[in-house]
Structure 1
Amino acid sequence: MQLSQSSAPHRAGVILPVIFIATIFLSASLLFFVQPLFTKIVLPQIGGSPAIWTTAMLFFQTVLIGGYLYAHLLTRHVPVNIQLIVHLAVWALALFFLPLAVPGGWQFDPDGPIAWQTLMLFGVGVGLPFFALSANAPLIQFWYGRSGGPSASDPYFLYGASNLGSLVALLGFPLVAEPLFGASKIGFGWAVGFAALGAFLLMSGLSARGSAALQEKTQAPTSKLTFEQVFTWAFLAFIPSSLMLSVTSKISLDVGAIPLVWVIPLALYLLTFVMTFNNRRLLGETVFKWSTRLALASLMLIFAGFTGVSLSWFSVGNLIIGFFIVALYAHHRLYQARPDATHLTAFYLTMSIGGALGGLFNSIVGPVLFSGLYEGGTTVILAFLMLMNLRQGGISIPQALVRGAVIGGFAALVAYFAAKNLGLSEFSTVLTCLFATGITAAAYLRNNTASYYAAMLVLVLAGTMMVPQKSLLRDRSFFGSHKVYEAGTLRLYGNGNTTHGAQRIADDTAERPEPLYYYHRNSPMAQVLTSERGMRAQSVGIVGLGVGSLACYKQPGQDWQFYEIDRMVDDIARNPKFFRFMSACAGDSPTHLGDARVVLAGQKDTKYDVLVIDAYSSDSVPVHLTTLEAIKLYMDRLAPDGVLVFHISNRYYDIDRPLARSAEALGLQARMQRYYGNSEVDPGDTASIVVTLSRSTEALGDLANDPRWKEITGDGEKVWTDDYANLLSILK
C-alpha cells in the first residue's frame, strides 16, 4: 500500500507535464497553421500583393493581444473553475465558424480602404477561432502553475513547447500540406484538430482545478512592475516583429507573395523563442553582441540597396540569416528580462502588444510616412538601441550621443568630398565611401555603444541626402511601391524591383510614342496585336495596365478595355507628364479598377477577341489568376475564335508549366515564344516570354504557322486549381 501511495505523486509528476505540453503544442500548431491556410483561402478575393500578408499579420497580432488580455483578466479575477467553463464556452462558439471559408456574399470594393476590408474579412472569417487559440499559451502556463506539477513555479519552459508546435505547423504547411492536399482538405483536417483541442483543454483545466492547496493560495503578485520593465519588454518584442515583416515584404516583391515566403521568416522568428526561452546559454555575451552588430550592418546594406536593386539568392540568404541573428538576440534579452510567474500573463500581454506594434508600423504607419519600403532600414536603426550600454564609464549618455554624432558627421563629410572630388556619383560608390568611413568610426568608438549608435545614425541620414534623387515620382500604395525616373534617353516605371514600362524622353512630343521593353514592336505581345488576327480584332482586354504601352497598338475602330487592381498605376499611366501611351493612343478606353478575376466574373456579357493577362508584378505570381478556374473564366470572356495571351516573363518560376497543364485539361491549343530581345542595338528591346491559348489552331490566324511560336503540352503533373497550387514545383 505504501508503494502505491508513493508512486501516485510520481505518476502525476510524469503525466501532468505530458498533458500540458501536448495541449500547448497542439494549440500552437493550430494557431500558426491557420495563418497561411486562411490567407491562401482568401487570396482569390483580395489578390496576391505582399501587403496582404503584412496586413494579415497585423490582424493576427492584434487578435493575439485580445487573447492575451482576455487570459490576463481571466486569471487575475476569476477562479480556475470558472476560467475553465468560460474558455470552453469560447472554444465551443468558435466551432460554428468551421470549416474556414470566405463569408458568403463578401465582395472586394476597389474604391474602399483595402487594408480595412482585409482586416474585416479576416475578422469575420477566422476571428473567433484564432482568438480562442491565442489565449491558450498564457492560460495553459497559468494553469500549469496551479497544477502542482514539476517546475510549476517557473512554467516558462512551456512557451518553448508552444513555439516548437508553431514551428512544426508553419513548416508543415508549405512543405507537406500544400504540395499534397488542397485547401479544402487542409481546412477539414485543421477543423478536426480544433475540435480535438477541446478535450485537451478540459484535461488541463481539471488538472489545475484539482490542486486544492494551490487553489487557496493568493494570486497577488509579489512585486509591482515598473514602466522601464514594461517598455523594455514591448521594445524587445517590437524589433523582431517589425524586422520579420520587413524581410518578408522585401523578399515577396521579387520571389512572390506565397505562403513559403511568408512562412520561413515567421518560422525562424518562432525558432528563436524555442532557442532562447530556456536556461541554456547560446553564446558568450561579447560574441553575441558582435554577431548582432554585423547582422544589423548587413541588413542595413541590403535595405539601403547597396547589394543591388533586385535581390539575388545570396542577398535573400543574407536577409534571412541577419534577421535570425537579430531576432535571436532580441528574444534572448527578452527572456533575461522576464518577471517571476506572478506576472506571467502581464509579460505575455506586453510581448503581444510589442509584436502588434511592429505589425502596425509596417502595414499602416510605414505606408503613410514613407514613399518607399523604408520600414526595414528604420527598424535596423532602432535595433542598434538593444546593444547600447546604459553605463558608459564616466561619460553620460547625452555626452556620448553628441560625441558620436560629431564623429559620424565628420566621417560623412569625408565620404562626401571623396565621392565629389573623385568624380564618383553612382549610388553604390557613395555607399561604399559611407561604409568605409563608417567602419573606421565604428572601430574608434567600439568601446562606447551610445557614441557608435549616434555616429551610425548620422552616417545613414547623411547617406540619404548624399545619394542623388533622380526620381520624378516615388510613392507607394497598398499593392506596392512605385517609381518613375529617367535613365539616359528613357523614362522608366518601376513597380517593386521590376521595370514595367518605359518611354523614350524624345517621344514627349511625338504623335504616338513607341512601346518599349516587353512591349517593343519585335516582342511576342506586339506580334499578336499586329498580326492578321490582332488587326481584325474588334475588342481587346488588357489585364495589368503598367504604363499603358500596349495602348499604342490599338487600331481605329477597336474597343479596348483595361483592368488594374492598383489605382495609383492607372493615375501614373494616364498622366502625360510621365507617360503618353494612354493619352496619345487610348485616352477614351476605360480602366476597370479591382482584381481582374472578380471584375471579369461580373461582366457576363463581355466577349473579347484578344485578352491579355499581364499581371505578374515584380516577379510575384498571382496564383489565383493562373488556376484552371481562372482560365475557364477567361475563355468564357473570349469570342469563339478569341486568343488568350499570358505575359509570363519571370526570373524565378516556369509559369508555362501550369498553363500548359490547364490548356491540356480544357482541350486548348497552347503556344509559347521565348524572345531574347536585342538590347545591344536598342536598349528598349528586352527579352520576354509569352504564352497564347486558343480553342483552335485556326483562331491564331497567321501566327499558327509562325516558327517562333512553339507548341507546349502538359508535363503530367497536377493541374492548378483554386483549391490546389504548388509554386515550389515550378521554381527554375
Structure 2
Amino acid sequence: MVEETTQLAEKPRWLTPVLFSSTIFLSASLLFFVQPLFTKIVLPHVGGAPAVWTTAMLFFQTVLIAGYLYAHLVTRHLSVRAQIALHLTLWALALLFLPLAVSAGWSYDAEKSTAGQTLLLFAAGVGLPFAVLSANAPLIQTWYARTGGYSADDPYFLYGASNLGSLIALLGFPLIAEPLFGATQIGWGWTAGFWVLGALLLTSGLMARGRAVPATSDVQTQPAPSLKTRLHWALIAFVPSSMMLAVTTKLTTDIGSVPLIWVIPLALFLLTFVLVFTNRPIASLATLRLGYLIGLGVLAVVFSNLLSIHVTVWSAVLTVAAFFLTALYAHALLYAERPAAEHLTTFYVTMSVGGAFGGFFNSIIAPSLFNELHEGAITVAVAGMLLLIRAVRPSQIAIFCALALVVLIIVKAPLIDAFGVIAFGVAAIVLFLTVATTIRQTAQAHAWVIVGFLVAGQVFVDHGSPLLTDRSFFGTHKIVERDGLRIYGNGTTTHGAQRIVDLTADRPEPQLYYHRNGPMAQVLTSAKADASETVGIVGLGIGALACYGQPHQDWHFYEIDALVSDIAHDSNHFTFMSRCAPDSPTHLGDARMVLEEQDGLSFDVLVIDAYSSDSVPVHLTTVEAFDIYLDRLNDDGVLVFHISNRYYDISRPLGRLAETMGLAARIQDYAGNTSEDPGDVGSRVVVLSRNFESLGDLNADPRWVPLAPDGGRVWTDDFANVLEVLNR
C-alpha cells in the first residue's frame, strides 16, 4: 500500500516535464509556422519585393523582444495566479484575430511608405497572437521552475524542446504544409493548434500555481547578472544570428536562390539550441571550442578576399558546416553562462536583443553602410574577438586597434592612399604576429590569425576594378567589362549587356537574352508587334528591349528596384534607354500592384521579364495575377514571359494557367550561338494570348511549339508549390 502511494506521488513528477515540453514545443511550432504563413497571406497585397520580407522579419524580431520583455516583467511583479489570468486573457483576445487574414477594408497606398504600411498590416493582422507565442518560451520555463518537477531548478532544457518545435515547423511548412494545402487550410489548422495551446497553457499554469522556487541549488543563489555580463550575453547571441544571415547571403549570391537554401542555415541555427540547451550536452565546452576555431578559420577564408573564394555547391557544404560549428559553440557558451532560474527571463531578453541586433545589422545597417557584402567578414572578426575578451589585459589595446583597423579597411576610408593602405596593412600583420606570440593560449593566438587574415584580404587583394559596385535591398549591383561587352549583374545573375563599341551608336544592339536571334527579339520584331501601339515591359534591366521599339509605339517600363532604374537611365553606363526610349515612363514599384491601379491603360504586348534571377516570383504566377494581366491586355494582345532559369521550370505553372484560363500558349527553348557571338546566349520564352490567331506570325513559326499542361494543380494566391517546379 505504501509502495502504491509512493508511485502515485511520483507519477505527477514524471508527467510534469512531458506536459511542459509538449506545451513549449507546440508554442514554438506555431510561432515558426505563423511567420511564413502570414507573410504568404500578405504577399499579394503588398508586393513581392525582398524589402517586404526584410520588413516582416524585422517585425517578428521586434515582437519577439517585446514578448520576452513581457514575460520578464510579469514574472517579476505578478503572482503566478495573476500571470495565468493575464496570459490566458491575452490568449483569448488573440482568438479575435483568427483565422489569420488581411482586413477586407485594407488597401495599399503607393504614396505612403511600403515598410510602414507592412509593419502596420502585420501588427493589425498577427501582432497579438505572435506576441503571446513569443512570451511562452521564458514564461513556461519560469512556471516549470515552480513545479518541483525533474530538473526544476535548471529548466533551460525546455528551450531545447522549444527549438526542436521551431525546427520541425521551419522544415514542415515548405516541405509538407505548403505543397499539400492552401494558405486558408493551413490557417485553419494553425487556429486549431492555437486553441489546443490555450488548454496546455492553463494546465501548465495550474501545476505551477502557489509553489515557490526551491532554494536547494547553488546555481539559484547567484546574484543578479551585472551589466557587463549581460553585454557579453548579447555579444555571444549576436555572432550566430549575424553569421547565419551572412552565410545565407553568401550562398544565395554565389550559387543562386536554390530551393530552401535559406532554410538550411536557419535550421542548423535552431538545431544547435536543441543540442546544447540540455542537461546532457553532446560534447564538452573545450571540444566545442576547438570546432569553433576550425569553423572560424574556414569562414575567414570564405569571407576574405585573400583566396578569391567563390562558393560552389561543394564549398557551400563546407561553409554551412563551419557555420554550424561556430553557432554550436556560441550557443553552448550561452548555456554555460546561464544564470539562476530566477534570472531566466533577464537572460532570454538579453539574448533576444543580441540576436535581433544581428538581424538588424545584416538587414538594415550593412546595406546602408557598405556597397559590397562585408558583414560576413565583420561578424567573423567579432566572433574571433569573443576568444580575446578574457585574454591578458595588455592585449585590450591591441584588440581596440584591430577593431578600428578592420572597420577602417572594410569601409575603405578615402583618406588613406594606396601606399598608406599597404604600409598600414603590413604594420597590422606585424602587430597580429607580435600579439599572437605573447599570448600563451592557443585560442587567442588563433583568433588573431583569423582577424589578420580578414584584414589582409581587404588590404592587399584587388579582384578587378568594376565600373560600378552598389547595393540595395534587392542585392548587390555590379558593372564589369569583358569580351567586348559591358555587363550588368545583380548578385550572380547577369541582367543585360551592351557592346562597348555600341556605347556611341545611335541605336545599340541588344545582347544576351535579348539578342536579335533570340525568342524575345522574335516576338518584338514580329509583324504582330510591329502593328502594336502600346507595349509594357515588366522588369527593366538595362533597358535593352527598348531598342526594338518603333516610333509610333507607346512603351511603359515597370521596375521594383530604383537603383536598377538609375543604372539603366544613366548614359555613362548604358545607352539603350537614352537612345531608344528617352521619353518612355518607368513605373517604380511591384508590377502587379502598379498594373492593378492603372485602370485606363491597356497593352497590345505585355512582357513579364521577372523570372531570370533564379527565383520564382510566385505572386506574378497565379490566377489572380493573370486576371490583372488580361485586364490590362487588349482583346488580341499577347503576353510574353521570359522564363530563363537555372533551377525552376516556370513553364509548368504557366501551362496550367493557360489551360485553366482558356489561353493559347507556345514556348521556345533557344540554345544560343556563343561560339560566333559571345552576346548570343540561350533563353526560354513563353507567349500566350486569348486565341492562337492573336499570336499572328508566331503561330506558324516552327520554332514556337505548343505549351502543354502537365496536369498539376494551378497556382493561386492561396496555393503555390515551388518545389514541384524544380528542374529535373
Identify whether the pair has TM-score above 0.5, normalized to the shorter chain: yes
- Please say if residues 81 and 210 of structure 2, whose CA atoms lie closer than 8 Å, have aligned partners that are also in contact: no
Aligned counterpart for 2:472 among listed residues 477, 485, 490: 477
* Matched position secondary structure for 1:687: strand
- Please say if residues 608 and 637 of structure 1, whose CA atoms lie closer than 8 Å, have aligned partners that are also in contact: yes
1:438-475 residue CA offsets vs partner (Å, 9 max, x unmatched): 99x99999954444434443442332343155222222
- Please say if residues 254 and 497 of structure 1, whose CA atoms lie closer than 8 Å, have aligned partners that are also in contact: yes
> 1 CA distance for matches of 2:310 and 2:541?
19
Identify the residue that residue 65 of structure 2 maps to in structure 1. Answer: 65
- 1:545 is the counterpart of 2:540: yes
1:559-595 residue CA offsets vs partner (Å, 9 max, x unmatched): 1101111111111111111111111111111111111
- Please say if residues 300 and 377 of structure 2, whose CA atoms lie closer than 8 Å, have aligned partners that are also in contact: yes
Identify the residue that residue 664 of structure 2 maps to in structure 1. Answer: 669
Q: TM-score, normalised by structure 2?
A: 0.90
- Larger displacement relative to structure 2 (714-723 or 9-18): 9-18
* Matched position secondary structure for 2:672: coil
Aligned counterpart for 1:509 among listed residues 504, 507, 520: 504
Aligned counterpart for 2:605 among listed residues 589, 604, 610: 610
- Please say if residues 679 and 686 of structure 1, whose CA atoms lie closer than 8 Å, have aligned partners that are also in contact: yes
- Please say if residues 565 and 596 of structure 1, whose CA atoms lie closer than 8 Å, have aligned partners that are also in contact: yes
1:280-339 residue CA offsets vs partner (Å, 9 max, x unmatched): 343455553343233233334444578989753324433332222211111111111111
Identify the residue that residue 464 of structure 1 maps to in structure 2. Answer: 458
- Larger displacement relative to structure 2 (77-86 or 4-13): 4-13
* Matched position secondary structure for 2:713: coil
* Matched position secondary structure for 1:619: coil
- Larger displacement relative to structure 2 (372-381 or 456-465): 456-465
- Larger displacement relative to structure 2 (286-295 or 688-697): 286-295
Identity over aligned residues, as a percent? 57
> 2 CA distance for matches of 1:239 and 1:464?
21
Identify the residue that residue 531 of structure 2 maps to in structure 1. Answer: 536
Mark the CA change 1:305 to 1:562 in structure 2 (over 3 Å): closer, same or farther: farther
Mark the CA change 1:442 to 1:485 in structure 2 (over 3 Å): closer, same or farther: farther
- Larger displacement relative to structure 2 (47-56 or 72-81): 47-56
- Please say if residues 52 and 118 of structure 1, whose CA atoms lie closer than 8 Å, have aligned partners that are also in contact: yes
- Please say if residues 257 and 621 of structure 1, whose CA atoms lie closer than 8 Å, have aligned partners that are also in contact: no
- Larger displacement relative to structure 2 (312-321 or 254-263): 254-263
Task: Kindly report which structure 2 residues correspond to 1:432-471, keeping only aligned pairs within 5 A, or say none.
Answer: 448-465=442-459, 466-468=461-463, 470-471=465-466
Identify the residue that residue 411 of structure 1 maps to in structure 2. Answer: none
* Matched position secondary structure for 2:58: helix
> 2 CA distance for matches of 1:692 and 1:305?
43
- Please say if residues 54 and 362 of structure 1, whose CA atoms lie closer than 8 Å, have aligned partners that are also in contact: no
Mark the CA change 1:711 to 1:120 in structure 2 (over 3 Å): closer, same or farther: same
CA displacement at 1:214 relative to structure 2: 6.6
* Matched position secondary structure for 1:672: strand
> 2 CA distance for matches of 1:307 and 1:179?
41
1:98-134 residue CA offsets vs partner (Å, 9 max, x unmatched): 1112334444455654444433332222111110000
Q: TM-score, normalised by structure 1?
A: 0.89
Identify the residue that residue 14 of structure 1 maps to in structure 2. Answer: 14
Identify the residue that residue 425 of structure 1 maps to in structure 2. Answer: none
Mark the CA change 1:274 to 1:10 in structure 2 (over 3 Å): closer, same or farther: same
**Aligned AA for 1:586?**
A
**Aligned AA for 2:318?**
N
- Please say if residues 528 and 534 of structure 1, whose CA atoms lie closer than 8 Å, have aligned partners that are also in contact: yes
Mark the CA change 1:363 to 1:279 in structure 2 (over 3 Å): closer, same or farther: same
CA displacement at 1:63 relative to structure 2: 0.9
> 2 CA distance for matches of 1:472 and 1:588?
26
- Larger displacement relative to structure 2 (298-307 or 659-668): 298-307
- Larger displacement relative to structure 2 (542-551 or 33-42): 33-42
- Larger displacement relative to structure 2 (181-190 or 719-728): 719-728
**Aligned AA for 1:453?**
A
**Aligned AA for 2:591?**
A
- Please say if residues 254 and 619 of structure 1, whose CA atoms lie closer than 8 Å, have aligned partners that are also in contact: no
- Larger displacement relative to structure 2 (624-633 or 577-586): 624-633
Task: Kindly report which structure 2 residues correspond to 1:355-394, keeping only aligned pairs within 5 A, or say none.
Answer: 355-388=355-388, 390-391=390-391
**Aligned AA for 1:268?**
L
- Please say if residues 502 and 515 of structure 1, whose CA atoms lie closer than 8 Å, have aligned partners that are also in contact: yes
> 1 CA distance for matches of 2:646 and 2:139?
47
> 2 CA distance for matches of 1:40 and 1:257?
18
> 2 CA distance for matches of 1:254 and 1:717?
31
- Please say if residues 592 and 625 of structure 2, whose CA atoms lie closer than 8 Å, have aligned partners that are also in contact: yes
> 2 CA distance for matches of 1:149 and 1:458?
50
Gaps of 5+ in 2: 407-417, 419-427
Mark the CA change 1:108 to 1:476 in structure 2 (over 3 Å): closer, same or farther: farther
1:526-565 residue CA offsets vs partner (Å, 9 max, x unmatched): 0100011111111100000011000010001101101111
Gaps of 5+ in 1: 409-419, 421-433
Identify the residue that residue 260 of structure 1 maps to in structure 2. Answer: 260
Identify the residue that residue 396 of structure 1 maps to in structure 2. Answer: 394
> 2 CA distance for matches of 1:238 and 1:54?
18
> 2 CA distance for matches of 1:249 and 1:482?
14
- Please say if residues 48 and 621 of structure 1, whose CA atoms lie closer than 8 Å, have aligned partners that are also in contact: no
- Please say if residues 252 and 620 of structure 1, whose CA atoms lie closer than 8 Å, have aligned partners that are also in contact: no
Identify the residue that residue 143 of structure 2 maps to in structure 1. Answer: 143
- Please say if residues 470 and 486 of structure 1, whose CA atoms lie closer than 8 Å, have aligned partners that are also in contact: no
CA displacement at 1:649 relative to structure 2: 0.8
Identify the residue that residue 191 of structure 2 maps to in structure 1. Answer: 191
**Aligned AA for 1:540?**
V
Identify the residue that residue 336 of structure 1 maps to in structure 2. Answer: 336
- 1:206 is the counterpart of 2:206: yes
